Chain A
Amino acid sequence: MSQIFAKGLVCPLDKNNVDTDQIIPKQFLTSVSRDGFAEALFFDWRYQADGSANPEFILNEPQYQGASILLTRTNFGCGSSREHAPWAIQQYGFNVIIAESFADIFFNNSVNNGMLLISLSASNIEFLFNRCKQGSQQWQIDLANQEILLGNNAAVGFAMDQDVKQRLLSGLDFIGASETLSPQIGQYEAARKQATPWLG
């Protein structure tokens, strides 16, 4: 059974250690809303100091308009815990990020927003970047079979945590899932009160 989780144009962002301050700078964190962050994505790279678009930044290049799969390098999303980072990425239009590795908090935040983050070996990442150099790429992500379908029967498989996979496939509200253990939470609280009363 194949199940296409996402498909679309690939944007190759050839950088390592992209931190959350680059993904969305501090001045956009004052909002009380979960929306409206698309314009803030990669702000200092996307826009010049005078506010005009930076023509040298890849997201501004005409051939990458409408991209929905982001390809990048190692340790993507390092730094702060701001969930505004995956919000900005998702609201811009990316629902899949392929990288050699991700920072832990960023990974969790992205999954909690239904995004798919795929980690691949350095050689596979290099292979995909080289493919992007050959021309515009339209890929499909088969989540059930854990494959990136590159077209013309070419594919790259990927490993992933099976609990994360189930969550993405089921689309289950993660608070709701935990609430099924409410009786156990109550029991834990009672036992905790007994054993360590100073904890409150």
Chain B
Amino acid sequence: MNRTLYQKIYQSHVVGSLNGSTDLLFVDRHLIHEVTSPQAFSGLRLAGRKVRRPDLTFATMDHNTSTQVRSYDAAGETSRKQLEALAANCAESGIELLDLYHPDQGIVHVIGPELGLTQPGMVIVCGDSHTSTHGAFGAIAFGIGTSEVEHVLATQTLPQQVARTLKVEVTGQLSPFVTPKDVILAIIGKLGTAGGNGYVAEFCGEAIRGMTMEGRMTLCNMSIEMGAKAGLIAPDDTTFAYLKGKPHAPKAEHWDAAIAYWQSLYSDADAVFDTVVNIDGSQIRPQISWGTNPEQVIAVDQPVPAPESFKDLIKADAAKRALTYMGLEAGQKLTDIKVDVVFIGSCTNSRIEDLRAAAAVVGTQKVAAGVRALVVPGSGQVKRQAEAEGLADVFKAAGFEWREPGCSMCLGMNDDRVDAGQRCASTSNRNFEGRQGRGSRTHLVSPAMAAAAAIAGKFVDISQMSVAQGAQA
């Protein structure tokens, strides 16, 4: 009684008490990738330790891979060494690896759910901050550092303290053209980049219930951008239907028992959250970031704010710096601003629904002259499905580059980068200075808004576009 969903899952994973208020939590799934794991394996070797549960550990290659050629060599010498290190570490420890040549390879937060590795009630960790994505299934999922990766490899546990709980209720129905990406950007705009620090956020309300699993993943994915330790959504029939038949989902003999357990995973009616935020979903309009952190966001039909419009001096100062970096002036309309690059991809927005939404906007139109546009599917499965549905043909005919799965231009670890001074409409999650390349200017938008920007050569208010019928993701 009176427990939040987070507290229920946390308590069921306590192995023991370490000291004071620190518990040792069991980890059900440990996802690893090439960038944040090599030093963890080296650490294990130095200490003479072994991987305790290779059967609960799964690896892929995504951050540091070429999206043009499927080859370890394609992204340079140091990248090749990193990929080879992961392959060798997985082989030595008996960890299943979806390497670059595996048909289901992809972004770790896309393939985990796709393969059914992500399930309600789990504790899931990965050396990547966007692990919060998996919270869409009603799992406690969060990013960890390399020392913690080593700790989980060695013990299948992690020391934790109970986080505070934040309830974000999004009531009402979303307008057409308003996607989960717009919802989470609006939430971050309201709460700020540090508004969730120390909290696990549970999203609920009619607008959330109406979202598909893909949409819920987009939402939880960006909960880290408001500083939350994790984002959570209670599992429901949408969740169960998504999981049924997935390769690692519970098999027939366990299915009913799993469902019964999953149905117990919700916040009790009398549960008390430390903080509650209510948002009227019907009032959210298509969002676009104008600055250099994800809270610097406006509805696309609003003017760029003036620094002096912020009462908080810190925010005013941040706005001033951001406008300078972004090459924008207060009062400008972003729909008057040209784009140089369009990136549709990342663990936030590279799933099949995202590509469908983007393709619906593109239709038979062409990418504007002078705009470089990329579509990078989140996984091999997404890529094959998009090709089967004809979406890839839509993109290619329009002049988009159709790439191999990977993190790509979200963080530009490989050769997919935005040049200094270039402006990018991006479906990714971070608009930090230099994130997509030194001097790059990132505007975070939904897949439909990104596609519309590619066609128009400038930002577009998607709600004003007649071709956007059915473009809601």
Chain A residues close to B by CB (< 8 Å): 16-17, 19, 21-22, 25-27, 29-34, 44, 49, 73-75, 78-83, 86, 101, 103-105, 108-109, 112-113, 161-163, 166, 174-175, 177-179, 181-182, 184-185, 188-189, 192, 196-200
10 new A-B contacts, CB < 8 A, other than A78-B227, A196-B121, are: A21-B432, A25-B438, A83-B127, A103-B197, A112-B147, A112-B148, A113-B147, A177-B159, A181-B18, A185-B24
**Option from B43, B128, B146, B194 in Cβ contact (under 8 Å) with A78:** B194
Residues of A contacting B303 with CB < 8 Å?
none
B42 close to chain A: CB less than 8 A: yes
* B194 & A177 in contact (Cβ 8 Å cutoff): no
CA distance A174 to B21 in the complex (A): 15
* A81 & B227 in contact (Cβ 8 Å cutoff): no
For A112, the closest partner residue in chain B by CB is B147
* A185 & B145 in contact (Cβ 8 Å cutoff): no
Chain B residues close to A by CB (< 8 Å): 15-16, 18-22, 24, 26, 28, 35-36, 38-39, 42-43, 47, 49, 52, 55-56, 63-64, 76, 78-79, 81-82, 85, 119, 121-122, 127-129, 131, 142-148, 150-151, 154-157, 159, 161, 193-194, 197-198, 227, 229, 249-251, 254, 257-258, 261, 293, 314, 317-318, 411-413, 420, 430, 432-435, 438-439
* A79 & B314 in contact (Cβ 8 Å cutoff): no
* A178 & B39 in contact (Cβ 8 Å cutoff): no
* B413 & A30 in contact (Cβ 8 Å cutoff): yes
Residues of B contacting A188 with CB < 8 Å?
15, 26
For B21, the closest partner residue in chain A by CB is A163
**Option from B28, B76, B145, B197 in Cβ contact (under 8 Å) with A30:** B76
Query: How near does chain B come to A126, taking the closest CB pair, in angstroms?
Result: 11
Residues of A contacting B15 with CB < 8 Å?
181, 184-185, 188
* A22 & B144 in contact (Cβ 8 Å cutoff): no
* A198 & B144 in contact (Cβ 8 Å cutoff): no
For A73, the closest partner residue in chain B by CB is B314
* A178 & B157 in contact (Cβ 8 Å cutoff): yes
* B144 & A30 in contact (Cβ 8 Å cutoff): no
* B145 & A179 in contact (Cβ 8 Å cutoff): no
